[in-house]
Amino acid sequence: MPPTTILNAALPRPVRDDPLLAAVVGEALDETVRAGAGEILLADVLPTRLPAPPVVSPDASPLHMAAVMERTGCPVVLVVDYTDEEPHLLGTVDATTLLQHFF
């Protein structure tokens, strides 16, 4: 989960809607946000419905997989074979594996 998602849950809606408001309000609101941050529940920041992970074919290149991850914001792709009538999950590739490949 990106840290910005948690920050979004901690910030009051008016500040999220207009970040310049935070500059005007000052440190009083800062203390309010700090006090409320400890009350954030996991359910407050998890999406209500998880998106389907991106899928690539077995012949997808590492560059293609990286581009799909970047476009979707998902750190993993499913490698699925559709040669039969039913799709077959062959495995997954994660961002760490691609980073090792490229660097």
- Give residue limits of the domains in the chain: 3-45, 55-102
pLDDT value for 32: 85
Q: Which residue has the higher pLDDT, 31 or 69?
A: 69
- DSSP code string of 38-82: TT--HHHHS-SSPPPPPEE-TT--HHHHHHHHHHHT-SEEEEEE-
pLDDT value for 84: 81
In the chain, pLDDT over 90 holds for what percent of residues?
Answer: 45
Confidence of residue 48 (pLDDT cuts 50, 70, 90): confident
The two tokens of residue 98 are 């691609």
pLDDT value for 55: 96
Average pLDDT, rounded, for the chain: 90
pLDDT single digits (tens) 5-25: 888 888 888 888 998 888 888
State the Cα–Cα distance between residues 39 and 44, nearest whole angstrom. Answer: 10
pLDDT value for 46: 86
Q: Which residue has the higher pLDDT, 63 or 1?
A: 63
Q: CA-based diameter of the chain, in Å?
A: 62
In the chain, pLDDT over 70 holds for what percent of residues?
Answer: 100
DSSP character at residue 19: T
- Closest C-alpha to 77, from 61, 4, 101: 61
